[in-house]
Structure 1
Protein backbone atom coordinates (compact mmCIF):
# COMPACT_ATOMS: atom_id res chain seq x y z
CA UNK A 1 0.00 0.00 0.00
CA UNK A 2 1.45 3.43 -0.92
CA UNK A 3 2.74 5.27 2.13
CA UNK A 4 2.39 8.74 0.65
CA UNK A 5 -0.59 10.70 -0.58
CA UNK A 6 -3.11 8.06 0.36
CA UNK A 7 -6.58 9.54 0.86
CA UNK A 8 -7.89 8.47 4.25
CA UNK A 9 -11.41 8.96 5.60
CA UNK A 10 -11.95 8.94 9.36
CA UNK A 11 -15.49 8.19 10.50
CA UNK A 12 -15.72 9.63 14.00
CA UNK A 13 -15.41 12.99 15.66
CA UNK A 14 -13.82 12.45 19.08
CA UNK A 15 -10.32 13.09 20.38
CA UNK A 16 -9.07 9.74 19.10
CA UNK A 17 -10.12 10.71 15.57
CA UNK A 18 -8.16 13.95 15.84
CA UNK A 19 -5.07 12.27 17.29
CA UNK A 20 -5.10 9.60 14.59
CA UNK A 21 -5.56 12.25 11.93
CA UNK A 22 -2.53 14.19 13.16
CA UNK A 23 -0.43 11.01 13.12
CA UNK A 24 -1.53 10.20 9.57
CA UNK A 25 -0.70 13.71 8.38
CA UNK A 26 2.86 13.14 9.55
CA UNK A 27 3.05 10.30 7.00
CA UNK A 28 1.99 12.62 4.14
CA UNK A 29 -1.52 11.25 3.81
CA UNK A 30 -4.52 13.32 2.77
CA UNK A 31 -6.85 13.03 5.77
CA UNK A 32 -10.60 13.69 5.90
CA UNK A 33 -12.91 13.38 8.88
CA UNK A 34 -16.61 12.65 8.52
CA UNK A 35 -18.47 14.72 11.12
CA UNK A 36 -22.11 15.15 12.07
CA UNK A 37 -22.32 18.96 11.88
CA UNK A 38 -20.50 21.94 10.43
CA UNK A 39 -20.01 23.30 13.94
CA UNK A 40 -17.31 20.70 14.56
CA UNK A 41 -15.39 21.62 11.41
CA UNK A 42 -13.06 24.33 12.82
CA UNK A 43 -11.57 21.99 15.42
CA UNK A 44 -10.51 19.56 12.69
CA UNK A 45 -9.46 22.18 10.16
CA UNK A 46 -7.06 23.76 12.66
CA UNK A 47 -5.19 20.46 12.78
CA UNK A 48 -4.94 20.18 9.01
CA UNK A 49 -7.69 17.53 8.82
CA UNK A 50 -10.32 18.15 6.14
CA UNK A 51 -13.78 18.11 7.75
CA UNK A 52 -16.72 16.67 5.85
CA UNK A 53 -20.21 17.04 7.34
CA UNK A 54 -22.61 14.37 6.14
CA UNK A 55 -25.45 12.22 7.41
CA UNK A 56 -24.54 8.59 6.78
CA UNK A 57 -28.14 7.50 7.17
CA UNK A 58 -28.68 9.02 3.71
CA UNK A 59 -27.28 6.65 1.05
CA UNK A 60 -26.48 9.46 -1.40
CA UNK A 61 -24.46 11.35 1.20
CA UNK A 62 -22.73 8.15 2.26
CA UNK A 63 -21.71 7.54 -1.36
CA UNK A 64 -20.31 11.06 -1.69
CA UNK A 65 -18.39 10.70 1.59
CA UNK A 66 -16.52 7.54 0.59
CA UNK A 67 -16.09 8.37 -3.10
CA UNK A 68 -12.35 9.02 -3.12
CA UNK A 69 -11.12 7.19 -0.03
CA UNK A 70 -8.31 4.65 -0.28
CA UNK A 71 -8.53 3.75 3.42
CA UNK A 72 -11.48 4.17 5.80
CA UNK A 73 -11.19 4.07 9.58
CA UNK A 74 -14.60 3.49 11.18
CA UNK A 75 -14.12 4.49 14.81
CA UNK A 76 -16.76 3.75 17.44
CA UNK A 77 -18.12 6.02 20.13
CA UNK A 78 -16.44 5.45 23.47
CA UNK A 79 -17.99 5.17 26.90
CA UNK A 80 -16.52 7.16 29.77
CA UNK A 81 -16.64 5.84 33.34
CA UNK A 82 -19.42 7.45 35.31
CA UNK A 83 -21.37 8.45 32.21
CA UNK A 84 -24.20 6.82 30.32
CA UNK A 85 -23.05 4.62 27.45
CA UNK A 86 -23.30 6.38 24.08
CA UNK A 87 -24.91 4.57 21.19
CA UNK A 88 -22.34 2.25 19.55
CA UNK A 89 -21.38 2.73 15.92
CA UNK A 90 -24.65 3.10 14.03
CA UNK A 91 -25.32 -0.16 12.21
CA UNK A 92 -27.51 1.46 9.55
CA UNK A 93 -24.76 3.94 8.73
CA UNK A 94 -22.25 1.12 8.33
CA UNK A 95 -24.66 -0.78 6.07
CA UNK A 96 -25.13 2.32 3.94
CA UNK A 97 -21.38 2.80 3.62
CA UNK A 98 -20.75 -0.82 2.66
CA UNK A 99 -23.54 -0.68 0.09
CA UNK A 100 -22.08 2.31 -1.77
CA UNK A 101 -18.36 1.47 -1.83
CA UNK A 102 -17.53 0.37 -5.38
CA UNK A 103 -15.81 -3.00 -5.55
CA UNK A 104 -12.03 -2.75 -5.60
CA UNK A 105 -11.76 0.94 -4.71
CA UNK A 106 -11.02 0.87 -0.96
CA UNK A 107 -7.73 -0.77 0.04
CA UNK A 108 -8.62 -1.15 3.72
CA UNK A 109 -11.76 -0.66 5.80
CA UNK A 110 -10.65 -0.71 9.43
CA UNK A 111 -13.54 -1.15 11.82
CA UNK A 112 -13.13 -0.46 15.53
CA UNK A 113 -15.14 -3.14 17.28
CA UNK A 114 -14.99 -4.01 20.98
CA UNK A 115 -14.20 -6.77 23.46
CA UNK A 116 -17.90 -6.47 24.28
CA UNK A 117 -18.53 -9.06 21.55
CA UNK A 118 -17.23 -11.62 24.08
CA UNK A 119 -19.26 -10.36 27.03
CA UNK A 120 -21.26 -13.57 27.41
CA UNK A 121 -18.17 -15.79 27.58
CA UNK A 122 -17.80 -17.50 30.96
CA UNK A 123 -14.19 -17.83 32.18
CA UNK A 124 -12.99 -21.40 32.55
CA UNK A 125 -15.58 -23.01 30.27
CA UNK A 126 -13.79 -24.63 27.31
CA UNK A 127 -11.58 -21.61 26.71
CA UNK A 128 -7.95 -21.66 25.55
CA UNK A 129 -5.58 -21.90 28.51
CA UNK A 130 -3.77 -18.75 27.41
CA UNK A 131 -6.98 -16.74 27.34
CA UNK A 132 -9.76 -15.72 24.97
CA UNK A 133 -8.66 -15.62 21.36
CA UNK A 134 -10.43 -14.45 18.24
CA UNK A 135 -11.89 -17.91 17.53
CA UNK A 136 -13.99 -18.03 20.71
CA UNK A 137 -17.70 -17.90 19.93
CA UNK A 138 -20.01 -15.72 21.98
CA UNK A 139 -23.58 -14.46 21.95
CA UNK A 140 -23.16 -10.98 23.50
CA UNK A 141 -25.61 -10.02 26.21
CA UNK A 142 -25.09 -6.26 26.02
CA UNK A 143 -26.52 -3.95 23.35
CA UNK A 144 -23.01 -2.72 22.60
CA UNK A 145 -21.71 -6.24 22.07
CA UNK A 146 -24.64 -7.25 19.88
CA UNK A 147 -24.38 -4.19 17.63
CA UNK A 148 -20.64 -4.57 17.20
CA UNK A 149 -20.96 -8.27 16.41
CA UNK A 150 -23.67 -7.60 13.84
CA UNK A 151 -21.45 -4.94 12.25
CA UNK A 152 -18.59 -7.44 12.13
CA UNK A 153 -20.87 -9.94 10.39
CA UNK A 154 -21.81 -7.36 7.75
CA UNK A 155 -18.12 -6.75 7.02
CA UNK A 156 -17.20 -10.44 6.97
CA UNK A 157 -20.13 -11.25 4.68
CA UNK A 158 -18.86 -8.66 2.19
CA UNK A 159 -15.38 -10.21 2.48
CA UNK A 160 -16.75 -13.68 1.75
CA UNK A 161 -18.80 -12.48 -1.21
CA UNK A 162 -16.31 -10.20 -2.93
CA UNK A 163 -13.07 -10.01 -0.99
CA UNK A 164 -13.96 -6.75 0.72
CA UNK A 165 -10.82 -5.56 2.59
CA UNK A 166 -12.41 -5.21 6.03
CA UNK A 167 -10.15 -5.48 9.09
CA UNK A 168 -11.76 -5.72 12.55
CA UNK A 169 -10.09 -4.48 15.74
CA UNK A 170 -11.75 -5.77 18.91
CA UNK A 171 -10.40 -3.08 21.14
CA UNK A 172 -10.08 -3.03 24.91
CA UNK A 173 -10.51 0.13 26.96
CA UNK A 174 -8.33 2.93 25.66
CA UNK A 175 -6.48 4.86 28.35
CA UNK A 176 -4.02 7.67 28.90
CA UNK A 177 -2.86 9.36 32.08
CA UNK A 178 -4.48 12.79 31.79
CA UNK A 179 -2.79 15.74 33.54
CA UNK A 180 -6.01 16.75 35.31
CA UNK A 181 -6.50 13.32 36.87
CA UNK A 182 -2.85 13.06 37.85
CA UNK A 183 -3.05 16.42 39.58
CA UNK A 184 -6.21 15.43 41.48
CA UNK A 185 -4.64 12.17 42.63
CA UNK A 186 -1.52 14.01 43.72
CA UNK A 187 -3.63 16.39 45.82
CA UNK A 188 -5.76 13.58 47.20
CA UNK A 189 -9.04 14.92 45.79
CA UNK A 190 -9.69 12.51 42.93
CA UNK A 191 -13.07 10.76 43.09
CA UNK A 192 -12.95 7.19 41.90
CA UNK A 193 -15.48 6.36 39.14
CA UNK A 194 -18.61 4.68 40.41
CA UNK A 195 -18.60 1.97 37.74
CA UNK A 196 -15.15 0.41 38.03
CA UNK A 197 -14.94 -2.99 36.31
CA UNK A 198 -13.58 -5.97 38.19
CA UNK A 199 -10.71 -6.26 35.72
CA UNK A 200 -9.33 -3.86 33.14
CA UNK A 201 -8.30 -5.05 29.68
CA UNK A 202 -6.79 -1.99 28.07
CA UNK A 203 -4.46 -0.52 25.50
CA UNK A 204 -2.46 2.67 25.92
CA UNK A 205 -3.28 5.50 23.51
CA UNK A 206 0.19 5.68 21.93
CA UNK A 207 0.28 1.95 21.23
CA UNK A 208 -3.24 2.06 19.86
CA UNK A 209 -2.34 4.79 17.38
CA UNK A 210 0.61 2.65 16.24
CA UNK A 211 -1.75 -0.32 15.81
CA UNK A 212 -4.33 1.67 13.83
CA UNK A 213 -1.69 2.88 11.40
CA UNK A 214 -0.12 -0.58 11.10
CA UNK A 215 -3.56 -2.00 10.30
CA UNK A 216 -3.48 -0.25 6.92
CA UNK A 217 -0.59 -2.42 5.72
CA UNK A 218 -0.49 -5.39 8.08
CA UNK A 219 -4.16 -6.11 8.81
CA UNK A 220 -5.46 -9.11 6.88
CA UNK A 221 -8.85 -8.56 5.24
CA UNK A 222 -11.55 -10.75 6.72
CA UNK A 223 -9.77 -11.05 10.07
CA UNK A 224 -10.51 -9.85 13.61
CA UNK A 225 -7.83 -8.93 16.13
CA UNK A 226 -7.95 -8.51 19.90
CA UNK A 227 -6.31 -5.21 20.82
CA UNK A 228 -5.12 -5.29 24.43
CA UNK A 229 -1.84 -4.94 26.28
CA UNK A 230 0.08 -7.65 28.13
CA UNK A 231 -1.30 -7.09 31.63
CA UNK A 232 -4.99 -7.16 32.56
CA UNK A 233 -5.22 -5.52 35.97
CA UNK A 234 -7.60 -4.63 38.75
CA UNK A 235 -8.65 -1.07 39.58
CA UNK A 236 -6.66 -1.31 42.83
CA UNK A 237 -3.48 -2.13 40.91
CA UNK A 238 -3.98 0.75 38.49
CA UNK A 239 -5.06 3.56 40.80
CA UNK A 240 -2.77 2.64 43.67
CA UNK A 241 0.21 2.48 41.30
CA UNK A 242 -0.72 5.93 40.02
CA UNK A 243 -0.93 7.23 43.58
CA UNK A 244 2.43 5.67 44.52
CA UNK A 245 4.09 7.29 41.49
CA UNK A 246 2.82 10.67 42.66
CA UNK A 247 3.65 10.17 46.35
CA UNK A 248 -0.03 10.12 47.32
CA UNK A 249 -1.85 7.67 49.61
CA UNK A 250 -3.60 4.63 48.03
CA UNK A 251 -6.93 5.35 46.39
CA UNK A 252 -8.34 1.86 46.95
CA UNK A 253 -7.81 0.30 50.36
CA UNK A 254 -6.68 -3.33 50.69
CA UNK A 255 -10.03 -4.21 52.25
CA UNK A 256 -11.86 -3.39 49.01
CA UNK A 257 -13.17 -6.53 47.36
CA UNK A 258 -12.76 -5.43 43.73
CA UNK A 259 -9.64 -7.52 43.25
CA UNK A 260 -11.20 -10.61 44.80
CA UNK A 261 -14.15 -10.26 42.43
CA UNK A 262 -11.97 -10.14 39.32
CA UNK A 263 -12.57 -13.13 37.02
CA UNK A 264 -9.60 -15.24 35.97
CA UNK A 265 -9.63 -14.25 32.31
CA UNK A 266 -7.38 -12.52 29.83
CA UNK A 267 -7.65 -11.79 26.13
CA UNK A 268 -4.93 -13.02 23.84
CA UNK A 269 -3.13 -10.46 21.69
CA UNK A 270 -0.63 -12.84 20.07
CA UNK A 271 -2.34 -12.78 16.68
CA UNK A 272 -2.21 -8.98 16.54
CA UNK A 273 1.44 -8.68 17.58
CA UNK A 274 2.63 -11.46 15.27
CA UNK A 275 0.77 -10.42 12.13
CA UNK A 276 1.34 -6.70 12.60
CA UNK A 277 5.01 -7.24 13.47
CA UNK A 278 4.64 -5.06 16.57
CA UNK A 279 6.15 -4.88 20.01
CA UNK A 280 4.07 -2.76 22.36
CA UNK A 281 5.94 0.28 23.58
CA UNK A 282 3.74 0.30 26.69
CA UNK A 283 3.09 -3.39 27.44
CA UNK A 284 1.55 -2.75 30.89
CA UNK A 285 -0.23 0.05 32.71
CA UNK A 286 3.01 0.84 34.56
CA UNK A 287 4.75 2.02 31.40
CA UNK A 288 1.61 3.83 30.28
CA UNK A 289 1.25 5.72 33.55
CA UNK A 290 4.93 6.65 33.54
CA UNK A 291 4.64 8.05 30.01
CA UNK A 292 1.52 9.99 30.97
CA UNK A 293 3.27 11.46 34.01
CA UNK A 294 6.26 12.50 31.92
CA UNK A 295 4.01 14.13 29.33
CA UNK A 296 2.12 15.99 32.07
CA UNK A 297 5.38 17.27 33.55
CA UNK A 298 6.62 18.36 30.12
CA UNK A 299 3.36 20.22 29.53
CA UNK A 300 3.63 21.95 32.89
CA UNK A 301 7.20 23.00 32.09
CA UNK A 302 6.21 24.44 28.72
CA UNK A 303 3.28 26.34 30.19
CA UNK A 304 5.35 27.60 33.12
Structure 2
Protein backbone atom coordinates (compact mmCIF):
# COMPACT_ATOMS: atom_id res chain seq x y z
CA UNK A 1 0.00 0.00 0.00
CA UNK A 2 1.37 3.47 -0.86
CA UNK A 3 1.64 6.28 1.68
CA UNK A 4 -1.12 8.10 -0.17
CA UNK A 5 -3.43 5.10 0.07
CA UNK A 6 -2.64 4.67 3.77
CA UNK A 7 -3.53 8.32 4.42
CA UNK A 8 -6.71 7.95 2.33
CA UNK A 9 -7.88 4.89 4.27
CA UNK A 10 -7.50 6.65 7.62
CA UNK A 11 -9.89 9.46 6.70
CA UNK A 12 -13.66 9.46 7.05
CA UNK A 13 -15.50 9.90 3.75
CA UNK A 14 -18.79 11.66 3.14
CA UNK A 15 -20.45 9.06 0.93
CA UNK A 16 -23.50 9.36 -1.31
CA UNK A 17 -24.82 5.83 -1.78
CA UNK A 18 -27.19 5.32 -4.71
CA UNK A 19 -29.24 2.20 -4.09
CA UNK A 20 -29.01 2.39 -0.31
CA UNK A 21 -32.52 0.91 0.01
CA UNK A 22 -31.62 -2.28 -1.86
CA UNK A 23 -30.29 -5.51 -0.40
CA UNK A 24 -26.66 -4.87 -1.37
CA UNK A 25 -27.03 -1.18 -0.57
CA UNK A 26 -28.16 -1.94 2.96
CA UNK A 27 -25.09 -4.09 3.55
CA UNK A 28 -22.83 -1.41 2.06
CA UNK A 29 -24.36 1.32 4.25
CA UNK A 30 -23.78 -0.74 7.41
CA UNK A 31 -20.21 -1.63 6.46
CA UNK A 32 -19.32 1.98 5.62
CA UNK A 33 -20.87 3.28 8.85
CA UNK A 34 -19.02 0.69 10.91
CA UNK A 35 -15.79 1.79 9.20
CA UNK A 36 -16.40 5.37 10.32
CA UNK A 37 -17.76 6.91 7.13
CA UNK A 38 -20.83 9.14 6.90
CA UNK A 39 -23.40 7.67 4.52
CA UNK A 40 -26.22 9.52 2.78
CA UNK A 41 -28.68 7.24 1.04
CA UNK A 42 -30.01 8.16 -2.40
CA UNK A 43 -32.99 6.48 -4.02
CA UNK A 44 -36.70 6.67 -4.77
CA UNK A 45 -37.96 5.13 -1.53
CA UNK A 46 -39.10 7.07 1.52
CA UNK A 47 -36.31 5.63 3.68
CA UNK A 48 -33.60 7.40 1.68
CA UNK A 49 -31.99 10.60 2.93
CA UNK A 50 -32.21 12.10 -0.57
CA UNK A 51 -35.18 11.00 -2.65
CA UNK A 52 -34.56 11.02 -6.39
CA UNK A 53 -34.75 8.76 -9.43
CA UNK A 54 -31.44 8.24 -11.26
CA UNK A 55 -33.34 8.14 -14.53
CA UNK A 56 -34.62 11.71 -14.01
CA UNK A 57 -31.51 13.84 -14.55
CA UNK A 58 -32.97 17.25 -13.70
CA UNK A 59 -34.74 16.06 -10.56
CA UNK A 60 -31.59 14.26 -9.41
CA UNK A 61 -29.43 17.35 -9.83
CA UNK A 62 -31.99 19.44 -7.95
CA UNK A 63 -32.10 16.87 -5.15
CA UNK A 64 -28.32 16.94 -4.55
CA UNK A 65 -27.99 20.72 -4.89
CA UNK A 66 -26.18 22.18 -1.88
CA UNK A 67 -24.78 18.81 -0.75
CA UNK A 68 -21.06 17.98 -0.65
CA UNK A 69 -19.59 14.48 -0.84
CA UNK A 70 -16.15 12.92 -1.10
CA UNK A 71 -17.29 9.65 -2.69
CA UNK A 72 -20.30 8.51 -4.69
CA UNK A 73 -21.21 4.81 -4.94
CA UNK A 74 -23.48 3.44 -7.66
CA UNK A 75 -25.17 0.30 -6.30
CA UNK A 76 -28.65 1.03 -7.66
CA UNK A 77 -30.68 -1.68 -9.36
CA UNK A 78 -34.20 -1.92 -10.68
CA UNK A 79 -34.47 -5.58 -9.68
CA UNK A 80 -36.87 -6.57 -6.90
CA UNK A 81 -36.51 -10.30 -7.47
CA UNK A 82 -34.25 -12.64 -9.41
CA UNK A 83 -34.46 -11.95 -13.17
CA UNK A 84 -35.98 -14.85 -15.07
CA UNK A 85 -36.52 -13.41 -18.56
CA UNK A 86 -34.35 -11.03 -20.56
CA UNK A 87 -36.93 -8.27 -20.24
CA UNK A 88 -36.58 -8.44 -16.44
CA UNK A 89 -33.12 -6.88 -16.89
CA UNK A 90 -34.11 -4.00 -19.17
CA UNK A 91 -34.73 -1.40 -16.44
CA UNK A 92 -31.42 -2.27 -14.77
CA UNK A 93 -29.68 -2.07 -18.17
CA UNK A 94 -31.00 1.49 -18.48
CA UNK A 95 -29.81 2.35 -14.97
CA UNK A 96 -26.35 1.19 -15.98
CA UNK A 97 -26.23 3.54 -18.95
CA UNK A 98 -28.45 6.62 -18.54
CA UNK A 99 -28.61 6.34 -14.75
CA UNK A 100 -24.82 6.18 -14.43
CA UNK A 101 -24.37 9.23 -16.67
CA UNK A 102 -26.81 11.19 -14.51
CA UNK A 103 -25.20 10.04 -11.25
CA UNK A 104 -21.77 11.08 -12.50
CA UNK A 105 -23.15 14.56 -13.15
CA UNK A 106 -24.49 14.55 -9.60
CA UNK A 107 -21.08 13.43 -8.29
CA UNK A 108 -19.40 16.30 -10.11
CA UNK A 109 -22.00 18.78 -8.85
CA UNK A 110 -21.36 17.75 -5.24
CA UNK A 111 -17.57 17.94 -5.52
CA UNK A 112 -16.96 14.20 -5.16
CA UNK A 113 -13.52 12.94 -6.11
CA UNK A 114 -14.15 9.19 -5.98
CA UNK A 115 -16.78 7.15 -7.81
CA UNK A 116 -17.25 3.44 -7.05
CA UNK A 117 -19.43 1.41 -9.41
CA UNK A 118 -20.99 -1.99 -8.81
CA UNK A 119 -20.42 -4.24 -11.82
CA UNK A 120 -20.78 -7.98 -12.50
CA UNK A 121 -18.53 -10.78 -13.72
CA UNK A 122 -21.05 -11.44 -16.51
CA UNK A 123 -19.53 -8.36 -18.12
CA UNK A 124 -16.85 -10.73 -19.43
CA UNK A 125 -19.58 -12.26 -21.56
CA UNK A 126 -22.26 -14.89 -21.18
CA UNK A 127 -21.38 -18.42 -22.25
CA UNK A 128 -18.71 -21.02 -21.55
CA UNK A 129 -15.32 -19.50 -20.69
CA UNK A 130 -13.69 -22.82 -19.96
CA UNK A 131 -11.60 -23.59 -16.91
CA UNK A 132 -9.18 -20.64 -16.84
CA UNK A 133 -9.63 -17.99 -14.18
CA UNK A 134 -10.33 -14.66 -15.89
CA UNK A 135 -8.34 -11.64 -14.71
CA UNK A 136 -9.22 -7.98 -15.01
CA UNK A 137 -6.99 -7.72 -18.10
CA UNK A 138 -9.51 -9.73 -20.15
CA UNK A 139 -11.81 -7.75 -22.49
CA UNK A 140 -14.84 -6.46 -20.62
CA UNK A 141 -18.20 -5.94 -22.29
CA UNK A 142 -17.65 -7.85 -25.56
CA UNK A 143 -20.41 -7.55 -28.10
CA UNK A 144 -23.34 -9.83 -27.25
CA UNK A 145 -24.25 -12.75 -29.51
CA UNK A 146 -27.93 -11.75 -29.57
CA UNK A 147 -29.74 -8.39 -29.29
CA UNK A 148 -30.84 -9.26 -25.75
CA UNK A 149 -27.34 -10.18 -24.59
CA UNK A 150 -25.89 -7.10 -26.26
CA UNK A 151 -28.38 -4.96 -24.35
CA UNK A 152 -27.18 -6.42 -21.04
CA UNK A 153 -23.49 -6.30 -21.95
CA UNK A 154 -23.76 -2.76 -23.29
CA UNK A 155 -25.18 -1.73 -19.92
CA UNK A 156 -22.18 -3.14 -18.05
CA UNK A 157 -19.73 -1.86 -20.68
CA UNK A 158 -21.04 1.70 -20.66
CA UNK A 159 -21.36 1.86 -16.87
CA UNK A 160 -17.73 0.90 -16.46
CA UNK A 161 -16.50 3.19 -19.22
CA UNK A 162 -18.29 6.13 -17.60
CA UNK A 163 -17.04 5.25 -14.13
CA UNK A 164 -13.42 4.74 -15.12
CA UNK A 165 -13.14 7.26 -17.92
CA UNK A 166 -14.66 10.48 -16.56
CA UNK A 167 -12.01 13.17 -16.17
CA UNK A 168 -11.66 14.51 -12.63
CA UNK A 169 -13.17 11.42 -10.98
CA UNK A 170 -11.23 8.60 -9.34
CA UNK A 171 -13.34 5.83 -10.83
CA UNK A 172 -13.25 2.26 -9.51
CA UNK A 173 -15.34 -0.70 -10.70
CA UNK A 174 -16.06 -3.83 -8.66
CA UNK A 175 -16.95 -6.86 -10.80
CA UNK A 176 -18.96 -9.01 -8.39
CA UNK A 177 -19.88 -12.66 -8.57
CA UNK A 178 -23.50 -13.72 -8.04
CA UNK A 179 -24.83 -12.42 -4.73
CA UNK A 180 -26.22 -14.56 -1.93
CA UNK A 181 -26.60 -14.23 1.82
CA UNK A 182 -28.75 -12.26 4.28
CA UNK A 183 -31.54 -10.54 2.36
CA UNK A 184 -30.49 -12.13 -0.91
CA UNK A 185 -31.16 -15.81 -0.25
CA UNK A 186 -34.49 -15.30 1.54
CA UNK A 187 -36.60 -15.49 -1.63
CA UNK A 188 -34.87 -18.74 -2.60
CA UNK A 189 -35.64 -20.22 0.82
CA UNK A 190 -39.32 -19.44 0.35
CA UNK A 191 -39.42 -20.97 -3.13
CA UNK A 192 -37.60 -24.10 -1.93
CA UNK A 193 -40.07 -24.50 0.93
CA UNK A 194 -42.92 -24.35 -1.57
CA UNK A 195 -41.09 -26.65 -4.00
CA UNK A 196 -41.42 -23.97 -6.67
CA UNK A 197 -37.79 -23.94 -7.78
CA UNK A 198 -36.85 -26.48 -10.45
CA UNK A 199 -33.22 -26.62 -11.50
CA UNK A 200 -31.30 -28.45 -14.24
CA UNK A 201 -28.01 -30.28 -13.81
CA UNK A 202 -24.86 -28.13 -14.04
CA UNK A 203 -22.87 -30.57 -16.23
CA UNK A 204 -19.60 -29.20 -14.87
CA UNK A 205 -20.51 -25.52 -15.36
CA UNK A 206 -19.58 -23.23 -12.46
CA UNK A 207 -20.03 -19.52 -11.67
CA UNK A 208 -18.40 -17.13 -9.18
CA UNK A 209 -20.40 -16.30 -6.03
CA UNK A 210 -20.00 -13.65 -3.34
CA UNK A 211 -21.67 -13.41 0.05
CA UNK A 212 -23.32 -10.01 0.55
CA UNK A 213 -21.42 -8.91 3.66
CA UNK A 214 -18.15 -9.82 1.92
CA UNK A 215 -19.27 -7.77 -1.09
CA UNK A 216 -19.95 -4.79 1.18
CA UNK A 217 -16.51 -5.11 2.74
CA UNK A 218 -15.01 -4.95 -0.74
CA UNK A 219 -16.86 -1.69 -1.38
CA UNK A 220 -15.40 -0.20 1.80
CA UNK A 221 -11.93 -1.33 0.71
CA UNK A 222 -12.47 0.32 -2.70
CA UNK A 223 -13.57 3.57 -1.06
CA UNK A 224 -10.52 3.60 1.18
CA UNK A 225 -7.78 1.97 -0.91
CA UNK A 226 -8.94 1.43 -4.49
CA UNK A 227 -6.61 2.56 -7.25
CA UNK A 228 -8.24 5.14 -9.55
CA UNK A 229 -9.09 3.85 -13.00
CA UNK A 230 -9.02 0.20 -11.95
CA UNK A 231 -11.49 -2.68 -11.95
CA UNK A 232 -11.44 -5.53 -9.43
CA UNK A 233 -12.99 -8.99 -9.50
CA UNK A 234 -14.78 -9.77 -6.21
CA UNK A 235 -15.79 -13.38 -5.57
CA UNK A 236 -15.24 -16.17 -3.08
CA UNK A 237 -12.67 -18.96 -3.37
CA UNK A 238 -14.76 -21.77 -4.86
CA UNK A 239 -17.00 -21.27 -7.92
CA UNK A 240 -20.15 -23.36 -7.95
CA UNK A 241 -22.80 -24.32 -10.48
CA UNK A 242 -26.22 -22.70 -10.23
CA UNK A 243 -27.93 -26.00 -9.47
CA UNK A 244 -25.26 -26.98 -6.94
CA UNK A 245 -25.76 -23.64 -5.21
CA UNK A 246 -29.50 -24.22 -4.84
CA UNK A 247 -28.98 -27.76 -3.60
CA UNK A 248 -26.47 -26.42 -1.06
CA UNK A 249 -29.04 -23.89 0.19
CA UNK A 250 -31.61 -26.67 0.59
CA UNK A 251 -29.16 -28.88 2.49
CA UNK A 252 -27.97 -26.14 4.84
CA UNK A 253 -31.49 -25.09 5.78
CA UNK A 254 -33.03 -28.56 5.82
CA UNK A 255 -35.41 -27.87 2.93
CA UNK A 256 -36.62 -30.09 0.10
CA UNK A 257 -34.13 -30.40 -2.72
CA UNK A 258 -35.04 -28.42 -5.83
CA UNK A 259 -36.84 -30.46 -8.45
CA UNK A 260 -34.46 -31.67 -11.20
CA UNK A 261 -35.57 -30.79 -14.73
CA UNK A 262 -33.97 -31.05 -18.17
CA UNK A 263 -32.22 -27.85 -19.24
CA UNK A 264 -34.45 -27.34 -22.29
CA UNK A 265 -37.44 -26.81 -20.00
CA UNK A 266 -35.79 -23.63 -18.72
CA UNK A 267 -35.68 -21.96 -22.14
CA UNK A 268 -38.88 -19.91 -21.60
CA UNK A 269 -37.03 -18.36 -18.61
CA UNK A 270 -34.57 -16.89 -21.09
CA UNK A 271 -32.24 -14.96 -18.77
CA UNK A 272 -32.08 -17.72 -16.15
CA UNK A 273 -31.39 -20.22 -18.94
CA UNK A 274 -28.52 -18.03 -20.18
CA UNK A 275 -26.96 -17.90 -16.71
CA UNK A 276 -27.40 -21.62 -16.12
CA UNK A 277 -25.67 -22.46 -19.40
CA UNK A 278 -22.71 -20.15 -18.67
CA UNK A 279 -19.41 -21.28 -17.17
CA UNK A 280 -17.11 -18.70 -15.64
CA UNK A 281 -14.23 -18.50 -13.17
CA UNK A 282 -12.44 -15.32 -12.10
CA UNK A 283 -9.21 -14.48 -10.31
CA UNK A 284 -9.48 -12.21 -7.26
CA UNK A 285 -5.71 -11.84 -6.80
CA UNK A 286 -5.77 -8.16 -7.77
CA UNK A 287 -8.43 -7.25 -5.18
CA UNK A 288 -6.55 -9.17 -2.52
CA UNK A 289 -3.25 -7.52 -3.44
CA UNK A 290 -4.38 -3.91 -3.97
CA UNK A 291 -7.44 -3.62 -1.73
CA UNK A 292 -6.25 -5.87 1.08
CA UNK A 293 -9.58 -7.68 0.78
CA UNK A 294 -10.20 -11.40 1.23
CA UNK A 295 -13.55 -13.17 1.61
CA UNK A 296 -14.49 -13.90 5.21
CA UNK A 297 -16.85 -16.53 3.73
CA UNK A 298 -14.48 -18.36 1.37
CA UNK A 299 -17.13 -20.81 0.12
CA UNK A 300 -20.89 -20.77 -0.37
CA UNK A 301 -21.27 -23.40 2.33
CA UNK A 302 -19.36 -21.16 4.78
CA UNK A 303 -21.61 -18.23 3.97
CA UNK A 304 -24.81 -20.21 4.26
CA UNK A 305 -23.72 -21.73 7.56
CA UNK A 306 -23.03 -18.25 8.94
CA UNK A 307 -26.41 -17.05 7.69
CA UNK A 308 -28.16 -19.98 9.33
CA UNK A 309 -26.32 -19.41 12.63
CA UNK A 310 -27.18 -15.68 12.59
CA UNK A 311 -30.83 -16.63 12.15
CA UNK A 312 -30.61 -18.82 15.26
CA UNK A 313 -31.06 -22.06 13.32
CA UNK A 314 -29.08 -25.19 14.17
Q: What TM-score range do you get, normalising by the shorter chain?
A: 0.7 to 0.9
Conserved 8 A contact 2:172-2:226? yes
Which one of the candidate residues 104, 107, 118 is aligned to 1:98? 104
1:275 CA drift (Å): 1.2
The aligned length equals: 277
Q: 1:82 to 1:24 in 2, by over 3 A?
A: closer
Give ranges in structure 2 of 5+ residues lacking alignment. 1-7, 265-275
Which one of the candidate residues 114, 117, 123 is aligned to 1:117? 123
Distance 1:76 1:171 in 2: 14
Match of 1:48 in 2: none
1:204 CA drift (Å): 0.4
Does 2:52 align with 1:54? yes
Give ranges in structure 1 of 5+ residues lacking alignment. 45-50
Match of 1:139 in 2: 142
Conserved 8 A contact 1:76-1:113? no
SS in 1 for 2:118: strand
Of 149-158 and 53-62, deviating more is 53-62
1:292 CA drift (Å): 1.4
Q: 1:293 to 1:55 in 2, by over 3 A?
A: closer
Distance 2:122 2:136 in 1: 12
Of 237-246 and 65-74, deviating more is 237-246
Q: Which has the higher contact order (CA 8 A, sep 6+)?
A: 2
Conserved 8 A contact 1:63-1:101? no
Which one of the candidate residues 165, 169, 172 is aligned to 2:170? 165
Give me the CA root mean square deviation. 3.3
1:278 CA drift (Å): 1.9
Of 51-60 and 136-145, deviating more is 51-60
Conserved 8 A contact 1:116-1:140? no
The structure that has the greater radius of gyration is 1
Q: 1:72 to 1:264 in 2, by over 3 A?
A: closer
Does 2:73 align with 1:73? yes
Conserved 8 A contact 1:179-1:296? no
Q: 1:195 to 1:145 in 2, by over 3 A?
A: farther
Conserved 8 A contact 1:225-1:272? yes
1:276 CA drift (Å): 1.2
Normalised by the length of structure 1, the TM-score is 0.76
Of 105-114 and 207-216, deviating more is 105-114
Does 2:207 align with 1:200? yes
Conserved 8 A contact 1:82-1:193? no
